[in-house]
């Protein structure tokens, strides 16, 4: 697997972000860490914006965000044109976010899933491919909404 992805977290997801680096190294995924660098309190929108812009611009193919619930990061990242961030709390949701929604950013709820679950979720998401077909039409409608506002 040769992908170039970005990873980022707020203080609540910092430790999980650090742990996932080993897994990414093991499976051969090149990544760039966009912060944060500690468990000291920070504002998650800053990291979601930085990573989201990097993915939307094509600098990175995909991104993974970590925060307490995953929701704040996903909401902030989804404000960026071209981002489709999905919160996933299990492998199936992660896989479907890619296969059906062509999610280019995965947001993980660090406070609610364990290390082994996070690893399985990340692997499932990275391995999944967009199904296209009837889902393509739906993703195009999402893009149309983005372009309208």
Q: Distance from first CA to last CA of the chain, Å, rounded? A: 36
State yes or no: is 81 an active-site residue. no
Rg (CA), the chain: 14
B/e letters for 52-76, b = 16+ CB within 10 Å, e = fewer, are bbbbbeeebebbbbbbbbbebbbeb
State yes or no: is 67 an active-site residue. yes
Q: Which residues pair with 58 in a beta bridge?
A: none
Active-site residue (options: 11, 81, 100, 135) = 100
Q: Which residues are catalytic?
A: 67, 100
């Amino acid at each position: 697997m040769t992908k170039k992805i970005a990873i980022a977290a707020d203080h609540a997801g910092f430790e999980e972000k650090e742990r996932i680096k080993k897994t990414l190294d093991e499976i051969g995924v090149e990544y760039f860490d966009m912060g944060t660098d500690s468990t000291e309190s920070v504002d998650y929108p800053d990291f979601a914006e930085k990573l989201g812009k990097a993915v939307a611009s094509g600098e990175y193919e995909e991104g993974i965000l970590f925060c307490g619930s995953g929701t704040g990061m996903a909401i902030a990242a989804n404000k960026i044109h071209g981002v489709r961030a999905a919160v996933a709390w299990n492998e199936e949701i992660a896989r479907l976010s890619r296969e059906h929604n062509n999610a280019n950013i995965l947001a993980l709820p660090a406070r609610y899933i364990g290390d082994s679950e996070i690893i399985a979720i990340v692997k499932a998401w990275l391995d999944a491919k967009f199904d296209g077909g009837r889902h393509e039409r739906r993703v195009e409608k999402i893009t149309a909404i983005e372009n309208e506002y």
